[in-house]
Structure 1
Amino acid sequence: MVESQLYVAPWGRDSWPGTFERPFATLPAAQRAVRARTASLSADLVVSLRAGTYVLTEPFVLSGDEGDSGENGYRVVYQAYGHGTADREEAVISGGRRITGWRPTERPGGRGGGQGGSWRAEVGDLETRQLYVDGRRAARAAISPGIPGTVTKTETGYVTDSTVPQSWQDPASIEFVYPGVYPWSEARCQVAGITGDERSSTITLAQPGFGRARELYNAEWVGESPPAESGTGVWQTMGMPSSAENSASFLTEPGTFALDRTTPGRHVLHYRPLPGEDPAQAEIVAPVLEELVVGRGSEDHPLHDVTLRGLVFADAGWTKPSGPGGFLHFHGNSYYDGGPLQKVELAEGMARLAVPVSPEQLPANVRFEGAVRITLEGNTFTRLGAGALALLGPGRDNAVLGNVIEDVSGSGLAVESGTGTRVEHNLIRRIGREYHGTPAVWVVDTREATVAHNEIHDVPYCGIIVVGGDRAARVQIVENLIHHTMTVLADGGGIYLNGRQGSSYASGTLVRGNVIRDTVTSYNFGLYTDYGAAWVTVQGNVVHRGDTPIVLRVTPPLENVAFLGNFWDDQPEGHDSPPAGVVLAGNTVLPKDDFERALAADPAGADILASAGRGVRG
């Protein structure tokens, strides 16, 4: 089959015809040419992007009713030129803006920055939570602990006997961070203002965020002895922030930045360079767009038969957490942004927690909704400030194959309410850089999804989360290699499941052939079936170097969960008398200090090791 070809290049012109010799300059120009051809396709239509960075001024939107779909059994393909060959060129789809005009910050005595001091650049009305210097994510300037001195909580914030906060620059841009408000969660709240005298400082937090946080992170104890107040925020209403971010006053470490918004419309970026780094010469980029690519369809008019391959998606952000509502993470990809709360029992006779009735979901910088037969293959998602990629219902038969997802503030991939999604051979690492409770892969109320042969590592919370629901059925989590998860938060695992996953073992979720190791923080379950998980088969997995391999007793209890033929390095608590809803059969405990050798010596164990994460690029 002969493909129809269009070309785009940074040196092209949108007035040209899009040929190899005379390419378009932008994606919108190529899209107009695609729309003129799709109705009469007789072969795949391939749009090849030559090497360079394509800076978007608005999201690239593919629509199910605008002629963007493949037709007549053929596809529309957007790809890096030379994809699939050794000569593939790097084409970057960017939502960023290069920051120029850097100059040393004047210090007392007329001395400038440089030589280890900070630099500044005026950026107009730019809002950003991320900055990238020569491709490296710069950390936001921060101090720890978040509030100095002896601190007392109030209804509106905090009072401290330290006068230091009164000297902080641009207090209304400062953000307090609360890891472990629940072990699996983290909150971020904005400061509204700081006042004080020579004896104390009063820190007022922004509303409605702080008030909502006090309502959400609220345990109602029903047992006899709740844990003592520890000041860490764990198992209590809002405690003390562990750190404060985003003030030029916090620029003590090289490689950090802060955005000063004191003067509306005349914001200033401050950056303290690494040794030997010259901000005037470096490529410093801040994200501007919050969405790079959006695919939109409906059940009646889905976006269909589109492929994106070999591209780099980079430099997009998400600024909502910098607003007065903050970021009140609840679990996985969900967060609280107001609305009713309900109480649920965490564990029998222990505590009741507040739960959002209708939580919001973390957005993604690349998103498809109502899409059919969409393929994302061999792409790289990097330097992103929200989640990387989301496939949302009512889509079906979509595929995420052989991509690299890394350096992302939130989750790697979200699959919600779709049917027949394939997530295979991807490398997902260093996600949750900013929102530590987000997982590498989030699968919610989905049918016939397969998550197989992926490698996931360096994740602050769970590797894969599967949440059941009324539509959930026949999800398979198969032969993934998952390691170094739970590096920040607790009460999670390499793989985590909750809720009803189907209506029988045949229609339920299968977790098979995965290798889960190095689940780092204390209080975790390497492979975690939680909160009423039902109709789950956990078969032939390897779990080691975690706090506990699995858990058998949760509230609500497990129903029809079978653990068959797994290998782990410790017996789960209660293994000799499992609950009525749990089957334990044929599992093998190998010695902790000789686990790898013993596993490799077992034929079944060796097969699991050989298959997990097979075929991942990177």
Structure 2
Amino acid sequence: MLNEQPDQLYVAPWGHDSWPGTLDQPFATLPAAQRAVRARTASLHADLVVNLRTGTYFLAAPFALDADAGDSGENGHQVVYQAYGYGTPRQEEVVVSGGRVITGWHPGEVDGAWQAEVGSLETRQLYVNGRRAPRASLSPGIPGNVTKTETGYVTDSTDPQSWQDPTSIEFVFPWVYPWSEARCRVAEITGDTRSTTITLVQPAFTWARELYTATWAGDEPESPESRRDTQWDGLARPSSAENSVSFLTEPGTFVLDRRTPGRHVLHYRPLPGENPDEAEIIAPVLEKLVVGQGTEGNPLHDVTLRGLTFSHAGWTEPDGPHGFLHFFANTYYSGGELQKVELAEGKAHLTIPTEPRFLPANVEFTAAVRVSLHDNRFTRLGAGAIGFAGPGHDNAIVGNQIEDVSGSAVTVASGTGTRIQQNLIHRIGREYHGSPALWVMDAREVTVAHNEIHDVPYSGIVVTGGSQAARVQIIENLIHHTMTVLADGGGIYLNGRQGTSYADGTLVRGNVIRDTVTPYNFGLYTDYGAAWVTVQGNVVHRSDTPIVLRVTPPLENVAFLDNFWDDHPAEADTPPSGVTLARNKVLPKNGFEEALAADPAGAAILASAGRGTPPLGPSPSPAV
């Protein structure tokens, strides 16, 4: 039987939705093309390809791919949405945007700034000529001598009484735990000639005081400023305050002023040479760009998105009364039961949420099968970029560029057989600094291979075990300049039970991890009861410590084999009973690269890590 040629549809900004969707008479919008797709999927005899011509497609609503509505490929064929000319030198530039172009700029009430009325718009991000403009901020967050109270703070400085639009101000608390950062808005500022009282929103501040309680003991972490051997108080005072016109002093920053309901005002202080009549200024409106959904019985399946740019989506929940109380990786606390966990035989404890919520992704799939994201760009996003959750299998995230994202690049929560390969991931966690670049949670047969990850405020790759976790492979990635803001993480971080044996546990092999920046980190970090993990043939260079062997709960069946690092790990001569160490090499810190290149095995690891090698085939089970 001859291969059928793909069926083609076309979309162009200059088209019309009443046209037939041909090359000469294209549709104008994605929804029109989707209606044509749904009319054809049941009888597909070849792949159905929707070609988007060059331009920006501003979405009025999330692009929803729904299995029940007929968005899946059928009869063994794919539904493909792609940039016109995909894979050729003539590939056109296509942007799928959830934003709104802001116009009507004029000189503002702040000298040297512009302003524009934006109605009831809520946004935490603004993009000027393709650049993320930071929110105007003040550091330290509260001037003067500051005392924490049950409802906020008191300071002997009267300066905060002059801050404009105080209920739009947000305080930022890095290191509430060493790996975590919280955000909480101001409710009220009052005072007299001697002091100022700052009240924070509820229930967020009460919840924060209940959540961020910990006691460290012995060799537990230090803050950057001082040793904390007893009670940890990450809420002692905010490091910075954001989003008041009073803070709008730095060029390139913005503020959203909400003083008049329904008549919000954006203020922007331009960079030298910027002109309001020429600048493209976009604020996100949608919180989802793509939502793919199915069920376990009827998953969304056989859909490919390729060669597209996804931009300008946000997430505004942190502006509300719950704030953003980050806990770990992509989890945060938004109410519910808290649990005190004893560590180190009662010498330390943490408080954890029993049912944390997950920071969302702007492109999100639930119950998906054979959904592929190939050679796309995800940029200028206000939550996470890509998320896969729920029952599903054989999905692929390959060859994408993911950058300038407020949260994580990729989250895979459960599912089987996901491939994350040959992606360039950088400038992640721009707003939510506890976000790892990649997070794999309680999933099976996930392959993370030949990615380059850099410029991340927390860990590069996090793998969290669980009852379903098995056969995760972290293979030949290049990871550098992680842990640039927070601490107690690493280039690669694993915790929990990863399987039931070395054969079905997690394999970490052939990765190059360098420049893990802040103090108290481990380049390659197995933590909190990690079990059934093989760490083989990796390179760790310029971290605070290459690995850690003694954690609480202890490591079980974790093997470190044939690795190269530039420091002798603590207790390597007398490892704990659950750890195997064999054939690892310590090379000198000075001249490490030269010594590594001179070792054939080290040179081979260095040559293979990163995006230059084709995606892997099946990998053999690790052997100890």
Task: Give the shorter-chain TM-score range.
Answer: over 0.9
TM superposition shift of 1:346: 4.0
Name the CA distance, whole Å, in 2 between partners of 1:225 and 1:571.
20
Partner of 1:311: 308
Which of 80, 85, 89 is equivalent to 2:88?
Answer: 85
TM superposition shift of 1:277: 1.0
Alignment of 1:40-439 (within 5 A): 40-106=43-109, 113=111, 117-220=112-215, 235-236=232-233, 238-439=235-436
CA contact (8 A) 1:294 1:368 kept: yes
Alignment of 1:446-595 (within 5 A): 446-595=443-592
Which of 12, 16, 22 is equivalent to 2:15?
Answer: 12
Partner of 2:607: 610
Q: Secondary structure at the match of 1:331?
A: coil
CA gap 1:278/1:373 in 2 versus in 1, 3 angstroms: same
Name the CA distance, whole Å, in 1 between partners of 2:420 and 2:130.
27
With structure 1 as the length reference, what TM-score do the two structures score? 0.96
Q: Does 1:33 align with 2:33?
A: no
TM superposition shift of 1:102: 0.6
Name the CA distance, whole Å, in 2 between partners of 1:232 and 1:44.
61
CA contact (8 A) 1:103 1:280 kept: no
Name the CA distance, whole Å, in 2 between partners of 1:167 and 1:221.
39
Q: Secondary structure at the match of 2:179?
A: coil
CA gap 1:35/1:72 in 2 versus in 1, 3 angstroms: same
CA contact (8 A) 1:192 1:206 kept: yes
CA contact (8 A) 1:176 1:244 kept: yes
Name the CA distance, whole Å, in 1 between partners of 2:487 and 2:224.
18
Partner of 2:439: 442
Which amino acid in 1 is paired with 2:496?
Answer: G
CA contact (8 A) 1:232 1:242 kept: no
CA contact (8 A) 2:560 2:584 kept: yes
Deviations 1:541-569, CA, capped at 9 Å, x for gaps: 00010000000000000000000000000
Name the CA distance, whole Å, in 1 between partners of 2:62 and 2:613.
29
Partner of 1:110: none
Name the CA distance, whole Å, in 2 between partners of 1:124 and 1:391.
34
Q: Secondary structure at the match of 2:210?
A: helix
Deviations 1:328-365, CA, capped at 9 Å, x for gaps: 11010111111101111344453111000010011000
Deviations 1:301-341, CA, capped at 9 Å, x for gaps: 10000000000000000000011111011010111111101
Name the CA distance, whole Å, in 1 between partners of 2:438 and 2:271.
33
Find runs of 4+ consecutive structure 1 residues off by over 3 angstroms: 220-234, 346-350
Which amino acid in 2 is paired with 1:320?
Answer: E
Deviations 1:432-474, CA, capped at 9 Å, x for gaps: 0000000000000000000000000000000000000000000
Name the CA distance, whole Å, in 1 between partners of 2:17 and 2:227.
57
Aligned length: 609
TM superposition shift of 1:279: 2.3
CA contact (8 A) 1:493 1:527 kept: yes
Q: Secondary structure at the match of 2:591?
A: helix
What percent of counterpart residues are identical? 75
Which amino acid in 2 is paired with 1:151?
Answer: V
CA contact (8 A) 2:177 2:234 kept: no
With structure 2 as the length reference, what TM-score do the two structures score? 0.96
Q: Secondary structure at the match of 1:607?
A: helix
Q: Secondary structure at the match of 1:430?
A: strand
CA contact (8 A) 2:222 2:520 kept: no
TM superposition shift of 1:612: 0.5
Gaps of 5+ in 1: 108-112
CA contact (8 A) 1:101 1:280 kept: no
CA contact (8 A) 1:145 1:241 kept: yes
Which amino acid in 1 is paired with 2:65?
Answer: L
